[in-house]
Amino acid sequence: MSQTNTNTKNTLKMHEPVLLQEVIGYLSPKKGERYLDLTAGYGGHATRILELTAGEVVLVDRDDNAISVLQQQFGGHGDVRIVHSDFLSACETLESEGETFDVILADVGMSSPHLDNPERGFSLKRDGPLDMRMDRNQPLTASDVVNTYDEAALVTILRMYGEEPKATAMAKAIIAARPLETTQQLANVAKTVWPGHSKVHPATRLFQAIRIEVNDELRQLEIMLPKAASLLRPGGRFGVISFHSLEDRLVKAAFREMTDGTYTSQYDLTVKKPITASQDEIVSNPRARSAKLRVLQAKIKTKERRS
Ligand SMILES: C[S@@+](CC[C@H](N)C(=O)[O-])C[C@H]1O[C@@H](n2cnc3c(N)ncnc32)[C@H](O)[C@@H]1O
């Protein structure tokens, strides 16, 4: 993982952080506490949390564009370490270094600039190359998935990552339309499989499936969750914001497993039900509509914990 140490400046309004008040309320950052942001993005949550902790912070993101913005925003401050890495590798490195934290946040998925910049290939509505990589250093792109996976592999990812009811028809249509070069061409394939009008764009599930495959999103999340929790100090809080049911299911299951009520369990669930956005927030930031926050707390007294 590559990293820089840098200084706090004004937040750039490129991405509106979701559930900000709820994150502050439930993660309750206090002066002098150490903060780890596993998906720092454009620094929205980090800026507010840093105002409250004024302590050491590690900011992680796998996107080079987000890292450049974080470097401008927090440039030069000795207490801020910026790490360009996926969050799974970052947790492994931090664990090997013996690092521990009072507050950890993972606000998973895409940022607004991913969707707004057609060049990144995430947008259903703006034409661009079939890319969809959050980390543009990795070799696998959406074009590789769409143009080289066989029918069985496409059907598997469409079912697992898109919950696409017409997975076989969609896979066949993709293969028949090859070579596909742009996001609009791919979206048009979905329209042939789902003709007519519907509230949800016919390519929504297809794009989700391809994106999750390209970025290995669900495997990363599932393995990262217990690793990140193990970095908590006694009494530390770990919040995860997810944006669709596949992600939330993994978070719910992992948090349930870590708080199974046995004598040896090291964590408590802060709230049983996920926290969702207020109507006011949804009106001002429609991305918040599907956001769910779950929070885990490390118990204060456990024999095995590192301090
Ligand atoms: C919803 S945005 C986070 C926004 C941030 N909380 C803010 O307030 O600006 C999600 C960010 O997580 C990053 N990301 C997604 N999956 C990741 C992973 N596995 N490892 C590291 N970063 C990841 C994306 O690149 C994106 O910048």
Q: Could you state, in chain order, the average pLDDT of each consecutive group of 10 residues for the chain (307 residues)?
A: 45 76 98 98 96 96 96 87 98 98 96 92 95 97 98 98 98 98 97 90 97 98 98 98 97 95 84 96 94 96 52
Q: What is the reported pLDDT for 199?
A: 85
CA dist., res. 164 & res. 156, Å (int):
10
Indicate whether residue 79 lines ligand 1 (CB < 6 A).
Answer: no
Which ligand 1 atom lies nearest to the CA of residue 43?
9
CA of 150 to the centre of ligand 1 (A): 30
Tell me whether residue 281 is in a domain: yes
**Model-level pTM?**
0.93
Domain that holds residue 270: 2-112+217-298
CATH number for the domain harbouring residue 209: 1.10.150.170
Q: CB–CB of 42/69 below 8 Å?
A: yes
Q: CB–CB of 8/74 below 8 Å?
A: yes
Provide the 3-class DSSP secondary structure of residue 60. Answer: strand
10 and 83, same domain (yes or no): yes
CATH number for the domain harbouring residue 18: 3.40.50.150
Provide the 3-class DSSP secondary structure of residue 211. Answer: helix
Which ligand 1 atom lies nearest to the CA of residue 86?
20
Q: What is the reported pLDDT for 3?
A: 53
- Which of 231, 217, 206, 243 shows the shortest CA–CA distance to 62? 217
Indicate whether residue 20 lines ligand 1 (CB < 6 A).
Answer: no
Q: What is the reported pLDDT for 196?
A: 86
Indicate whether residue 43 lines ligand 1 (CB < 6 A).
Answer: yes
31 and 83, same domain (yes or no): yes
Indicate whether residue 247 lines ligand 1 (CB < 6 A).
Answer: no
CA of 66 to the centre of ligand 1 (A): 8
Tell me whether residue 303 is in a domain: no
- Which of 43, 52, 35, 114 shows the shortest CA–CA distance to 75? 43
Tell me whether residue 305 is in a domain: no
Q: In what order do the strands lie in the sheet with 292-298?
A: 2-6, 80-84, 57-61, 35-37, 101-107, 232-242, 292-298, 267-269
CA dist., res. 235 & res. 257, Å (int):
18
Indicate whether residue 84 lines ligand 1 (CB < 6 A).
Answer: no
12 and 107, same domain (yes or no): yes
CA dist., res. 239 & res. 24, Å (int):
10
188 and 249, same domain (yes or no): no
Tell me whether residue 274 is in a domain: yes
Q: What is the reported pLDDT for 75?
A: 76
Total domains in the chain come to 2
12 and 41, same domain (yes or no): yes
pLDDT in tens, 70-118: 999 997 777 999 999 999 999 999 999 999 999 999 999 899 999 989 9
CA dist., res. 91 & res. 287, Å (int):
27
CA of 104 to the centre of ligand 1 (A): 13
107 and 7, same domain (yes or no): yes
Indicate whether residue 45 lines ligand 1 (CB < 6 A).
Answer: yes
Tell me whether residue 81 is in a domain: yes
CA of 109 to the centre of ligand 1 (A): 6
Tell me whether residue 307 is in a domain: no
Which ligand 1 atom lies nearest to the CA of residue 20?
8
Indicate whether residue 41 lines ligand 1 (CB < 6 A).
Answer: yes
